[in-house]
Amino acid sequence: MFNQLLSSVNWLHVLVAAVAYFMLGAIWYSALFQKQWIAMHKIDVNAPDAKKGAGVIFGIGFLLTIVIVAGIAIFKTQVPAINLVGGIKLGLFASVVFCSPPLAMSHLYLKKPFALIAIDCAYHIIGSAIAGAIIGAWQ
C-alpha cells in the first residue's frame, strides 16, 4: 500500500514545492525574523564555531522539507479533485495538525519564549500552505 502511495506522487511537484518552502525559510529567518530568532535562542553568532556544519544542517533541513512536502502530496492522492485552494487547505491542515504541535511542545519544554514558538510555527504553517498550493494547483 505504501509503495502505491509513493508511486502516485509527482516527485517533480514535490521538489518544486520543497524549494519554495525552503526559500520561504531563507527569507523568514534572514530578512524577517533573524535578529529576534537569534536572540531568543541565545545564539552567539560571533563564536568561532557558530557557522560550523552549516552546509550539512541546510542539506538535512532541505531533505526534511522534502519529507514534509511529500506527506502533503501523499495526502493529496487520497483526496479527489484538489485544486489551488484545496491544496492550501490541505497544507494548512497538515501543518496545524502534524508540524506545529510537536514543534510548539518541544519549545515549551525547552522554556522558549512564546514569540519564538509563533515565529517557528508560523513559518511551517505558511510553508506548508505554499507547498499545498503548488501541489494542489499543479495537475
Residue with grid cell 511551517, as numbered in its chain: 124
HSE-CB of 24 using CA atoms within 13 angstroms? 18
Amino acid at 138: W
Q: What is the mean pLDDT of the chain?
A: 94
CB 131 within 8 A of CB 23: no
pLDDT, one tens digit per residue, over 5-20 is 788 899 999 999 999 9
Give CA–CA dist 22/61, Å, rounded. 8
Decide if 95 contacts 120 (C-beta within 8 A): no
Q: What's residue 15's pLDDT?
A: 98
The residues spanned by each domain of the chain are 2-137
Query: pTM for this one?
Result: 0.92
What DSSP state is assigned to residue 98? Answer: I
**What is the number of residues in the chain?**
139
pLDDT, tens digit (0-9, with 9 covering 90-100), for 54-79: 999 999 999 999 999 999 999 998 88
Cα–chain center distance at 44: 25
